[in-house]
Structure 1
Amino acid sequence: MSDPFVVRSLDEIRFWSRIMKEHSLFLKLGFRCEDTQLIQEADEFYSIFESIENKSHAYSEETDPKTIHRFNSKVYNAATHIWAFKRKVLGLVLRCKLPGANNFPLLIDHVSREANYFRKRLKELNTGTLEPISDAIIYENVFFLRIMADHAKFISHLLDPSERQLVEQSRNFSFEFDQLLNQARDLDSMKPQSQTGPLLGQFLDQNRVSVKSLRDFKKTARELIEACRIKSIIHPLLADHVFREAERFLFIIDMFERYLNTNDVKKDNRKEPHSIEF
């Protein structure tokens, strides 16, 4: 029998360790040639998370939960260190210590938020303190809607300005997801009264439509970039990276919708842990 804690832990680590590994590469590519220390640190983090990713696939759903608990702790430490590295780099950029580097401050903040999300999830899993479902639905959407809005902004700035139609599409997505994010924050501020089945269901339905549209746009952009059919400075791996994060968001929305369809969220479930099975 598989243990839900093991299944959930491995799912999170397999997805996010790859993301952290790729963040290391993207940051490295944005450093200047003379930033040798930062480049070395990025390389080290790439190796660390590549090793974590490989090890996560060596475990199975039947692995002893105690083993996974220890693994989670080790990965938590790695995630904390890369989060600190990202915040250090952000501080250097904002204090103009890396003039000429090509990492946008918002991009560095973006990847640090994802590292913080990852380490927070690992801590919650190990301590058994996952959020109640009704809180998690709103929190996860607030987090990922901001991620999607950021992606749209990055794409519009990394496309060649002559790709006017794609740039305009990216800007439209940025505006759309900023609006969805504000709506999600409004719903959050109205808790717990806003946590009814109909409101949360409509919230997820509306977000899914927009995320699917952005996901499809990213998929098309990825294919065009890989075929060298558009002008941009977007790394092909970055195009695939943002596509996978949109897929992840859709997976989470679907997971929450399955819960809403089979449970009554009108009851007081604030003491129920976020224990949806993957």
Structure 2
Amino acid sequence: MPDAFVARSLEEIRFWSRIMKEHSLFLRLGFRCEDTTLINEANQFYSIFENIENRANQFTAGTDPNVIRKFNEEVHNAVSHIWVFKRMILQLILTCQLPGANNFPLLVDHTSREANYFRNRLAELNAGRLDPLPDAIINENVFFLRIMADHAKFISHLLDPSERKLVDQANEFSHDFDQLLYQAVDLDSMRPQSQTLPMLDQFLDQNRVSVVALRDFKKTARDLIEACRIKSIIHPLLADHVYREAEHFLEIIDMFELSLTGKKN
């Protein structure tokens, strides 16, 4: 239905354009002061995605689907360019051409995976092509479980080492989500035989419990960082950024649960 296409497109763009905008800021903050070309490029991407975010907020569910389809194409182009930028940065880091910079290689790879996910979502929407529900459940969980595991690792490494209890908690979440990811990959390799309703329902329930716990941990960490109550080099916006991504993952899990069983959580 056209209105569903418009609503879903705007939902994706509003969420992910803000994420791409913030990625630009985080990457810029990690560059060395002499990396002026990279800093300027990051600033340009920040402006591009801020503009996209503002325009997306001006559209409504009643907007002409053809207008949104063209907007999706435009955003897809911008996301493709920031993906290339991120992969170029990763190459510079891995070939030791940015010594002393503060962007972890895994963080840059992480942000590029999210850009690739975003542009694929836009392409799927414009093509009217979405995975069947069982495939979508496994694919989305494999993607987001890895994202959550990465977040736990970043938090652990950006907290001050003296924050021993919080570091231990972050490491425990990292291990938990690595295990959940391995289980999801196993379920993936067992397709289509693994795609029974009881199996997928249990898969979603198990993941939800861990994502809720991580979401709550991130919220606590965010609030402590904003109140300057813990020692870390985590930017307050980054703390909120990873919290919002956990919230987004929970929304996706709940949407799948409702489609799969008709149950609301």
What TM-score do the two structures reach when normalised by structure 1? Answer: 0.94
Residues in 2 aligned to 1:100 and 1:73: alpha-carbon distance in whole angstroms: 37
Corresponding residue for 1:96? 96
Corresponding residue for 1:272? none
Paired-residue identity, %: 74
CA-based RMSD of the aligned residues comes to 1.0
Corresponding residue for 1:63? 63
Corresponding residue for 2:133? 133
Residues in 2 aligned to 1:63 and 1:253: alpha-carbon distance in whole angstroms: 28
Please tell me whether residue 54 in structure 1 is matched to residue 54 in structure 2. yes
Preserved contact between residue 2 and residue 62 of structure 1 (Cα < 8 Å): no
Q: Deviations over 1:84-121 (max 9, x none)?
A: 00000000000000000000000000000000000000
Residues in 2 aligned to 1:132 and 1:108: alpha-carbon distance in whole angstroms: 31
**More helix as a share of residues:** 2
Q: Unpaired runs of 5+ in structure 2?
A: none
Please tell me whether residue 124 in structure 1 is matched to residue 124 in structure 2. yes
Q: Deviations over 1:169-216 (max 9, x none)?
A: 000000000000000000000000000100000000000000000000
Corresponding residue for 1:221? 221
Residues 1-278 of structure 1 mapped to structure 2, 5 A cutoff: 3-262=3-262
Letter in 1 for 2:59: Y
Deviates more, 1:130-139 or 1:235-244: 130-139
Residues in 2 aligned to 1:89 and 1:130: alpha-carbon distance in whole angstroms: 31
Residues in 1 aligned to 2:77 and 2:123: alpha-carbon distance in whole angstroms: 10
Preserved contact between residue 16 and residue 118 of structure 2 (Cα < 8 Å): yes
Pick 1 or 2: higher relative contact order, CA cutoff 8 A, min separation 6.
Answer: 1
Residues in 2 aligned to 1:249 and 1:261: alpha-carbon distance in whole angstroms: 18
Residues in 1 aligned to 2:7 and 2:239: alpha-carbon distance in whole angstroms: 28
**How many residues in Structure 1 have an aligned counterpart in Structure 2?**
263
What TM-score do the two structures reach when normalised by structure 2? Answer: 0.98
Letter in 2 for 1:68: I
Structure 1: which 4+ aligned runs deviate by more than 4 Å? none
1:66 to partner: Cα distance: 0.2
1:262 to partner: Cα distance: 3.3
